[in-house]
Amino acid sequence: MFPGLFRSAAALGLALLCFGPVGCSTSGARGATGQGVRVYETNDVVRVELNGQLFTEYHFRAVSRPFLFPVLGPDGEHFTRQWPQADPGGEERDHPHHHAIWWAHGDANGQDFWSESPKAGRTVHQSFADLKSGANTGSITARNRWVAKDGKVIASDERTFRFHRPRGLERTVDFEITIFASHGDLVLGDTKEGTMAIRLAESMRLTQPKNQPGQGHIVNATGGRDGATWGQRAPWVDYYGPVGPKTVGVALFDHPANPRYPTWWHVRDYGLFAANPFGVHDFEKKPKGTGDLKLPAGQSVTFRYRLIFHQGDTTQANVAAAFAEWVKTPAQ
């Protein structure tokens, strides 16, 4: 149904032994301090500094799935909800599985890797393929296993976060994930519960608790706004609102080479913001299973995204032009 989606593990040069307890070698863990991007492991996280200032940390130990938190702007403002990683007070405590920025899916061979319910599986870190610092970019490449509640390994992945040196007040992160059907056939099931996701700062919400109006807004590439963006297909979505005295936003781009581009958007008025190429049943009210993506054993599929953390609203941040520039950039 979707030709050209899959590549063999052999063609990608996948060494499955890298998914073992020791993993592959790590290089470039400590770069120059000061200007540029510094990426290094410390205190059970990987810390990312932009021009000497903390931007985020990659959490991978004793978690349900790896995630980035905090995500900080140039003045230390939080772009994401802090709970449940921290408790600053005044934040909603719904959906405890919403961990700032993460990738997860609610149906992989019938197993839930999205929630943290008693029956949910876990995305288990295996090794770092590389940690790199640099003058203009730094990156984290990690390998993971998807482990069901009963201990069965469902699949594996290799994911890379690439952090760019700031351009003015803007911060840019590229994310790429390759999912391997490394332990038999894999079906990424048709559900809205996924996938490339962010839980935004509470003050940015479209609506506040008890259905009170918020000051946030949602805009997609096709001109959709606010609540009308949920379940719609679009190359990008931008969600902006106030954090402290400033208006800030997060734009998420879906790459044209991704399967099923342009993706559907599971973007909620309470601050959940996710690109989901699988949930056709929920988004378009089609028969259950329409959105299934099937990978035969030994095959893989890759998705690429860009996140831009910007100042101002969608127009002020020139989000459409930023997307057009990104899609012309060769993959790194």
Percent of the chain surpassing pLDDT 90: 87
| Beta bridge partners of residue 214, listed in sequence order | none
Pick the closest to residue 192 from 109, 137, 268 (CA basis).
268
Predicted structure pTM score: 0.90
Q: Give pLDDT, residue 147.
A: 98
Tokens 């919403």 belong to which residue? Answer: 98
Could you tell me where the DSSP H helices lie in 229-296? 280-284
Q: pLDDT at residue 13 above 70?
A: no
Q: Which amino acid is at 46?
A: V
Q: Please say whether the beta carbons of 278 and 188 come within 8 A.
A: yes
Say which residue, 16 or 234, is predicted with more confidence. 234
Is the per-residue pLDDT at 211 higher than 50? yes
> CA–CA separation, 251 vs 267, rounded Å?
12
Instruction: Output the pLDDT for position 111.
Output: 98
DSSP letter string over 211-237? Answer: GEE-S-EEEETTS-BGGGGTT-B-SEE
Rounded to an integer, the average pLDDT of 262-276 is 98
64 has a pLDDT exceeding 90: yes
pLDDT of 14 above 50: no
Q: Are 246 and 77 in contact (CB under 8 A)?
A: yes
- Residue 2 reports pLDDT greater than 60: no
pLDDT at 177 over 50: yes
pLDDT at 205 over 50: yes
Binned at pLDDT 50, 70 and 90, residue 33 comes out as low
Q: What is the pLDDT of residue 7?
A: 43
What residues contact residue 1 under an 8 Å CB cut-off, 6+ apart? none
> Measured between alpha carbons, how far is 292 from 253 in angstroms, rounded to an integer?
22
Q: Which domains does the chain carry?
A: 24-87+96-327 (2.70.98)
Task: Quickly state the pLDDT bin for 34 (edges 50, 70, 90).
Answer: confident
> How many other β-carbons are positioned within 10 Å of the β-carbon of residue 12?
14
pLDDT above 50 (res 3): no
The average confidence (pLDDT) of the chain is 91
Report how far apart, in Å, the C-alpha atoms of 61 and of each of 89, 110, 116, 309 are: 25, 25, 16, 26
Distance from C-alpha of 308 to C-alpha of 38, rounded to nearest angstrom: 19
| Greatest CA separation for the chain | 54
pLDDT grade for 114, boundaries at 50, 70 and 90: very high
